[in-house]
Amino acid sequence: MGTEKIVIEDLYKGFGHEPGKVFPLLEKGLGKDDILKKTGHTVAINNASITVEQGEIFVIMGLSGSGKSTLVRCVNRLVEPTRGKVLIDGEDVLKMNPKELRELRRRKIGMVFQRFGLLPHRTVIGNVEYGLEIQGMPKEERRKKAQSALDIVGLANWAGSYPENLSGGMQQRVGLARALANDPDILLMDEAFSALDPLIRKEMQNELLELHSRLQKTILFITHDLDEALKLGNRIAVMKDGAVVQVGTPEEILTNPANDYVADFVQDVDRGKILTAGSIMITPEVITSKDGPRVALRKMKETGLSSVFVVGSGRTLVGIVTADAVLTGDNLETKDLSTVLITDVPTTSPDTPVNELFPIAAETKIPISVIDENKKLLGIIPRVSILAAISKKEVIQ
Amino acid sequence: MNLRIGYYFKELISWMDDVFSPFWDFLSDVIYWMVTSLEGEFGAVPPYVLIVIFALIAWKVAGHKIAIFTVVAFLLILGMDLWWPTMQTLSLVIVSTFIALGIGIPLGIWASRNERLNIILRPVLDFMQTLPAFVYLIPAITFFTIGRVPGVISTVIFAMPPAIRLTNLGIRQVAEDVVEAALAFGSTPNQLLFKVQLPLALPTIMAGVNQTIMLALSMVVIASMVGAPGLGEGVLTGITQYKLDVGFEAGLAVVLLAMFLDRVTEALGKKHNN
């Protein structure tokens, strides 16, 4: 893993006159609703800790009211946390004075908002250059930078238009260009695509992924949409009632939900899109290409399977030997495997989504072998495992 | 039972008159100078030239229809032989509006950012707007004797509330996500105000300016009761001496002047809106 870019530690945020009042009650284990009833205070963030690595897309997911938008605003202190720690590149954000905080917002962080937050009285380019303008950058220089940010999001020809004349998707591209204009390390995206039509949304997600692979920004992305979270996130934090319930990769969240809440959340997901061959493969029993048919047969008897994989040096995949072939005629009497070896076996890479394995599985009875770029056998996927993975039963190892 | 609130108010006013006497004198001098200088400027230019200038302003800001109206209205005023009192009234209205906006808009901005001031200001504004205007003419006379100055002061007090209210409202109405975005990119409070809040609040603030001018004009008759010269004198003569013709002509001139100022400032607000 890379270096830690954003660290949030034991963060609390209470809304009300005396947010400090809620801590003793929280420590007693009272819930959000009880505290609201007793003190009139809302606990928006309850002891949240996350670490965002340099260059990753970290998604915070939760339903409305889970505190995710408040949490992301604590990173640049649009919302002032009540207690806890926020570090960016090791610097304590909460200890910054107003001037240092402004510098942080100007140089290091770009933010994209759900409802765009564009300035309606400024043109598209006027919006994009706003962040540079308030830093006092000369007009010519900032225009140039703003124009190249517009190029990135594909709106180069719209510089002179006003936001109200643009579609929602285009407005959000302007929002994105504005966030990119001052070339920040970090992008905070608060439900950035939630207000867009499904098709535009998908398009924007793909573009963001493409952009991320090109620019390598650290992105903290907030969403209530699980599919979006699974698609974009290198890692995902699931929030509920202001607390972080689970942090993990999309596959970890899907295959190993921390509690019923997360499990409920993920139950309707199209798992085949998220789970990869690598995550459902099992370790195969193998023989080497020097072994004979008898060894193969013994291995099959030991494992109770009707086939066995054959590997060469460095565990490279050679092929498969089936029980049927070994027992046909006098094949068992031959010394080497070549007569019974099937080399035309279906293969796939470890990061292929499970959905794409269906066509392969439909055409063959042999388990699909998962190999890396050097043809090294990493694991195999029997057809039953594919079905098990999709129906979210635990894969039996 | 008698709480004698009136008595204490009177005592307070006379105490303020004594203690701040040099300040009142200074204020009086400044305002007198402002109004009479402006009157002098208007008096120095031939009426026909001024009519052309007014029409040009109206044409530039509000279009040719209002420009034609402006020419007709001011020719009518000239024809009724009310040109000079109209210019005196216009001077008083301009100076009062200028002062009212000079205090009201900053106060409105401040109130939009300071909840406590906002809460304190609300009843004060109600007071300023609803207390019968005659009542604060009395302390105005105490501080400034009679003439143009107490007229301006009472007009300022009466006309200022909409400027404060609508500036405050306009800034508060600026969409929260826009303000949040401006802050997220590192705006200073002043940058937020001048680059985001004020431009977006401008149509509402201009509505306040328009209201302030209209209220100032509506005070001209009352101001003339403390001796401020202008169209109010004619109206007052009409009432006190039962001269319907004089009163009606002066009243008509007030209306024409009001329509001119209203259409022009209204168009100014709309222009900024687009």
pLDDT bin (cut points 50, 70, 90) of residue A65 is confident
* B186 closest CB neighbour out of A105, A117, A178: A105
The 8 Å CB, 24+ separation contacts for A361-370 are A361/A386, A366/A307, A366/A320, A366/A322, A366/A342, A367/A284, A367/A307, A368/A277, A369/A284, A369/A309, A369/A317, A369/A320, A369/A345, A370/A277, A370/A278, A370/A281
The pLDDT of residue A35 is 80
Say what the ipTM of the complex is. Answer: 0.75
Q: What is the mean pLDDT of chain A?
A: 87
B181 in contact with chain A, both atoms CB, cutoff 8 A: yes
Chain B nearest-CA residue for A118: B178
Nearest CA among A43, A8, A9, A10 for reference residue A26: A43
| Extended strands (E) in chain B | none
The pLDDT of residue A138 is 94
pLDDT bin (cut points 50, 70, 90) of residue A2 is low
Which residues in B lie closer than 8 A to residue A133 (C-beta atoms)? Answer: 195
**Structural domains present in chain B:** 5-273 (1.10.3720.10)
Q: Does the distance separating the beta carbons of A120 and B185 come in below 8 Å?
A: no
Q: Does the distance separating the beta carbons of B182 and A105 come in below 8 Å?
A: no
- C-alpha distances (whole Å) from B97 to each of A49, B92, B161, B200 are 56, 8, 11, 22
A271 pLDDT higher than 90: no
Give the alpha-carbon dihedral of A124, A129, A131, A137, to 10 degrees.
-160
The pLDDT of residue A363 is 82
- In this prediction, residues B161-171 reach a mean pLDDT of 94
B185 in contact with chain A, both atoms CB, cutoff 8 A: yes
* B184 closest CB neighbour out of A105, A114, A115: A105
The distance of A108 to chain B (nearest Cα, Å) reads 10
- Pairing label, strands A235-240, A57-61: parallel
Which of A48-57, A256-265, B62-71, B187-196 is the least confident region? A256-265
The pLDDT of residue B171 is 95
Outline where chain A has alpha helix (H).
Answer: 22-27, 32-39, 68-75, 98-107, 124-128, 130-133, 139-152, 168-181, 198-215, 226-232, 250-255, 260-266, 271-274, 277-280, 293-303, 323-327, 358-363, 383-390
Bridge partners of A371, per DSSP, are A377
Residues A136-158 have pLDDT tens digits of 999 999 999 999 999 988 898 99
Q: Does the distance separating the beta carbons of A111 and B178 come in below 8 Å?
A: no
B274 pLDDT higher than 60: no
Which residues in B lie closer than 8 A to residue A118 (C-beta atoms)? Answer: 178, 181
Which residues in A lie closer than 8 A to residue B274 (C-beta atoms)? Answer: none
A102 in contact with chain B, both atoms CB, cutoff 8 A: yes
Which of A21-25, A60-64, B100-104, B210-214 is the least confident region? A21-25
Residues A170-222 have pLDDT tens digits of 999 999 999 999 899 999 999 999 988 888 898 899 999 999 998 889 999 99
* A134 closest CB neighbour out of B178, B187, B199: B187
Q: Does the distance separating the beta carbons of B185 and A134 come in below 8 Å?
A: yes
The pLDDT of residue A233 is 92
User: Using an 8 Å Cβ cutoff, are B263 and B62 in contact?
Assistant: yes
B18 in contact with chain A, both atoms CB, cutoff 8 A: no
B115 in contact with chain A, both atoms CB, cutoff 8 A: no
- C-alpha distances (whole Å) from A210 to each of A151, B66, B160 are 14, 57, 56
A134 in contact with chain B, both atoms CB, cutoff 8 A: yes
- Which of A134, A171, A180, A222 to substitute to test the interface with B, most B CBs within 10 Å? A134
The distance of A117 to chain B (nearest Cα, Å) reads 4
Q: Does the distance separating the beta carbons of B183 and A135 come in below 8 Å?
A: no
- In this prediction, residues B204-232 reach a mean pLDDT of 88
All residues at 6 or more sequence positions from A99 whose CB lies less than 8 Å from its CB, including other chains: none
Which residues in B lie closer than 8 A to residue A130 (C-beta atoms)? Answer: 182, 185, 195
Residues 187-226 of B with CB under 8 A from A: 187-188, 191, 195-196, 199-200
User: Using an 8 Å Cβ cutoff, are A233 and A203 in contact?
Assistant: no
Which residues in B lie closer than 8 A to residue A135 (C-beta atoms)? Answer: 186
- In this prediction, residues A381-392 reach a mean pLDDT of 78
The pLDDT of residue A392 is 61
A126 in contact with chain B, both atoms CB, cutoff 8 A: no
Nearest CA among A284, A368, A294 for reference residue A330: A294
Q: How many CB atoms lie within 10 A of CB B205?
A: 25
- Which of B178, B183, B185, B274 to substitute to test the interface with A, most A CBs within 10 Å? B185
B198 pLDDT higher than 50: yes
Residues A315-348 have pLDDT tens digits of 888 888 888 888 877 777 777 777 788 888 888 8
Encoded tokens for A129 = 């250059």
- In this prediction, residues A296-313 reach a mean pLDDT of 85
A394 pLDDT higher than 60: no
The distance of A164 to chain B (nearest Cα, Å) reads 12
The pLDDT of residue A267 is 78
- C-alpha distances (whole Å) from A353 to each of A24, A203, A219, B222 are 47, 20, 24, 83
Chain A nearest-CA residue for B203: A121
**Structural domains present in chain A:** 54-85+92-270 (3.40.50.300), 278-390 (3.10.580.10)
State in Å, rounded, how far the first CA of chain B is from the last one: 59
Which residues in B lie closer than 8 A to residue A131 (C-beta atoms)? Answer: 185-186
